[in-house]
């Protein structure tokens, strides 16, 4: 499934988000006016009429009135921007992402002629089918942005035949990227390249010594591509985020990646969500190498066939990543022995904030022993027990230890077998989790009155928290 651009943008722009550039006012001129008040020197510059900001005859024309280093404004999408094919999401000191339309030659030409193009730090392409994308304008743009730090080419997967760029063009794209030596973030999620493109890109990894984020979600990555990437990890040793979800590699590819993890000791995020291609053999290899990534904060193994042995090996090595904050094991198909090993070793990751165990039939495996493990995770904020056949007795046990997880803000119990008794237990213990504002109980046989009471409690809490903020 192709993820939305907005989510992908927020994923690789945490630094940008932290600046709070949107402020608390939706007026696009507001940040600019605030900048004028903060910096008197701005007021001495020739001012542009506000209407000029919406009717730019040439890309960036309105921007010439402001000093580059003090630029603080948001420009709304306007039909004339659409006509040019260039839609800036936001420009903050000319380092914020600019959305470009790779399917509009006229707009790309306008962008290439923009006098400030060399200052651009971040680019994101508009979604579209890669088979219709023109490579030449993109390569021309890449040659004009030597200081580019973030590039996102995602959402270009043809919905019908999964068409991407032909192999020759993927090789040319990889060569064009090799000139971006300042690159920190490279995102190809559901993008224009596939396994062949990754093999080509791996040959130029030495050009990206500062790379910290590499997103290759849903690009058809196979074993050969992952092996080529794994062998190139020594060249990108500063890597912090590696996302490989929804691809085609199996244990062979993962074993090669695991064997090379020692080259990326700063790794903090590893996403291996897979469609049953990876099994316990690959997870065993990964587990044996967790000691090389002690900074790991997020590990996603959704839909991986962990099995008994894979879960046992992984669990016994959790102490190497004791700072783990997020653990995803939805539909992980671990057996009874593996489940017990996981429960015993969760105490080795005491800082855990998110635990996702959706679709693992925890009722049959024994939900009671999981309850005892949760008592050792006081920082938990998100718990996902969706589709686990949990009944009233299980939920009453869970409710009884909510006091041990006072920071909990989201609890997912969707699609279980919870009735009124379980709902009543939750209602009686809601006071133990004052931050809980998201509670999913749909697709449970809860009666109208109990469900209504739960909903009112959550709504009242949301209102109270919003007032306190």
Quickly list DSSP for 106-165.
HHHHHHHT-TTGGG--EEEEPP--GGG--HHHHHHHHTT-TT--EEE--S---TTT----
Beta-carbon contacts of residue 276 (< 8 Å; ≥ 6 apart): 303, 304, 305
Three-state secondary structure call for residue 372: helix
Q: Tell me what the mean pLDDT of segment 17-34 comes to.
A: 33
What average pLDDT score do residues 270-299 get?
A: 94
Burial 300-315 (b: 16+ CB within 10 A, else e): bbbbbbbbbbbbbbbb
Tokens in use for 386? 């969706």
Give the percent of the chain with pLDDT over 90.
59
In sequence order, what are the beta bridge partners of 439? 411
Q: Which of 189-198, 320-329, 330-339 has the highest mean pLDDT?
A: 320-329
State the burial class of residue 416 (Cβ atoms within 10 Å of its Cβ: 0-12, 13-18, 19+).
Answer: buried
pLDDT, residue 88, reads: 41
190-210 pLDDT, tens digit each:
888 999 999 999 999 999 999
Is residue 86's pLDDT more than 70? no
Q: pLDDT tier at 23 (50, 70, 90 boundaries)?
A: very low
Q: What is the pLDDT of residues 215-258, one digit of tens each?
A: 999 999 999 999 999 999 999 999 999 999 999 999 999 999 99
Phi, psi of 411 (to 5 degrees): -135, 120
Most confident range (mean pLDDT) of 59-63, 110-114, 378-382 is: 378-382
DSSP structure string for 27-72: -TTHHHHHHHHH-HHHHTSPPPPGGGGT--SSTTGGGGGS-GGG-E
| pLDDT score, position 168 | 87
Handedness of CA 430, 432, 434, 438 (dihedral sign): negative
Residue 59 pLDDT exceeds 80: no
**pLDDT for position 69:** 33
H or E segment and range at residue 187: strand 185-187
Q: What is the mean pLDDT of residues 359-374?
A: 93
Q: What is the pLDDT confidence band of residue 379, given thresholds at 50, 70 and 90?
A: very high
pLDDT computed for residue 230 by the predictor: 98
Helix or strand or coil: residue 297? Answer: coil
Could you tell me which residues come within 8 angstroms of residue 74 by beta carbon, excluding any fewer than 6 positions away? 21, 22, 28, 30, 31, 90, 91
* Residue 338 pLDDT greater than 90, yes or no: yes
d(Cα 263, Cα 197) in Å, to the nearest integer?
22
For residues 331, 333, 334, 335, the Cα torsion angle rounded to the nearest 10 degrees is: 140
State mean pLDDT over 108-112. Answer: 76
Distance separating alpha carbons of residues 397 and 375, to the nearest angstrom: 12
Model pLDDT, residue 188:
93
Separation of alpha carbons 344 and 75, rounded Å: 53
Domains located in the chain, CATH noted: 353-469 (3.80.10.10)
Ranges of beta strands (E only) in 196-324 are 213-215, 241-243, 269-271, 298-300
Residues 435 and 466: beta-carbon distance below 8 Å: no
pLDDT at 67 over 50: no
pLDDT at residue 300 is higher than 80: yes
At which residue do the structure tokens 């044996």 appear? 288
What are the pLDDT digits (tens) for 401-412?
999 999 999 999
> How many C-beta atoms surround the C-beta of residue 430 within 10 A?
18
* pTM attached to this predicted model: 0.80
């Amino acid at each position: 499934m192709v993820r939305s651009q907005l989510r992908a943008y927020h994923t690789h722009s945490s630094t940008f988000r932290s600046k709070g550039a949107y402020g608390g006012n939706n007026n696009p001129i507001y940040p600019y006016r605030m900048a004028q008040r903060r910096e008197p020197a701005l007021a001495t510059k020739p001012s542009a009429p506000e209407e000029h900001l919406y009717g730019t005859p040439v890309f960036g024309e309105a921007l010439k009135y402001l000093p580059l280093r003090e630029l603080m404004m948001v420009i709304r999408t306007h039909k004339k921007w659409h006509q040019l094919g260039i839609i800036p999401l936001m420009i903050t000191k000319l380092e914020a992402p600019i959305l470009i339309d790779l399917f509009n030659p006229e707009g790309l030409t306008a962008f290439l002629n923009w006098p400030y193009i060399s200052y651009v730090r971040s680019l994101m392409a508009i979604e579209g089918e890669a088979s219709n994308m023109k490579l030449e304008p993109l390569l021309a743009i890449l040659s004009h942005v030597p200081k580019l730090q973030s590039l996102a080419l995602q959402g270009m997967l043809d919905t019908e035949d999964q068409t991407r760029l032909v192999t020759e063009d993927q090789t040319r794209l990889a060569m064009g990227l090799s000139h971006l030596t300042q690159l920190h973030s490279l995102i190809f999620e559901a993008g224009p390249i596939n396994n062949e493109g990754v093999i080509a890109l791996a040959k130029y990894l030495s050009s990206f010594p500062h790379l910290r984020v590499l997103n290759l979600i849903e690009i058809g990555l196979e074993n050969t591509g992952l092996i080529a990437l794994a062998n190139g990890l020594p060249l990108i040793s500063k890597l912090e985020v590696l996302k490989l979800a929804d691809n085609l590699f199996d244990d062979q590819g993962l074993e090669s990646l695991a064997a090379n993890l020692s080259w990326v000791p700063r790794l903090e995020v590893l996403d291996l969500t897979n469609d049953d291609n990876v099994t316990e053999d690959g997870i065993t290899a990964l587990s044996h190498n967790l000691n090389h990534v002690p900074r790991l904060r997020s590990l996603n193994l959704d839909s991986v066939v962990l099995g008994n042995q894979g879960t046992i090996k992984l669990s016994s090595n959790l102490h190497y990543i004791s700072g783990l904050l997020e653990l995803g094991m939805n539909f992980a198909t671990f057996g009874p022995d593996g489940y017990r090993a996981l429960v015993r070793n969760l105490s080795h990751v005491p800082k855990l904030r998110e635990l996702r165990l959706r679709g693992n039939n925890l009722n049959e495996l024994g939900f009671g022993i999981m309850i005892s493990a949760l008592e050792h995770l006081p920082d938990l904020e998100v718990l996902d027990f969706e589709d686990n056949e949990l009944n009233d007795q299980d939920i009453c046990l869970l409710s009884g230890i909510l006091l041990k997880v006072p920071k909990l803000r989201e609890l997912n119990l969707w699609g279980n077998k919870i009735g009124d008794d379980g709902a009543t237990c939750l209602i009686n213990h809601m006071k133990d989790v004052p931050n809980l504002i998201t509670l999913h109980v749909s697709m449970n046989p809860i009666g109208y009155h109990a469900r209504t009471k739960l909903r009112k409690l959550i709504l009242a809490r949301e209102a109270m928290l919003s007032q306190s903020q």
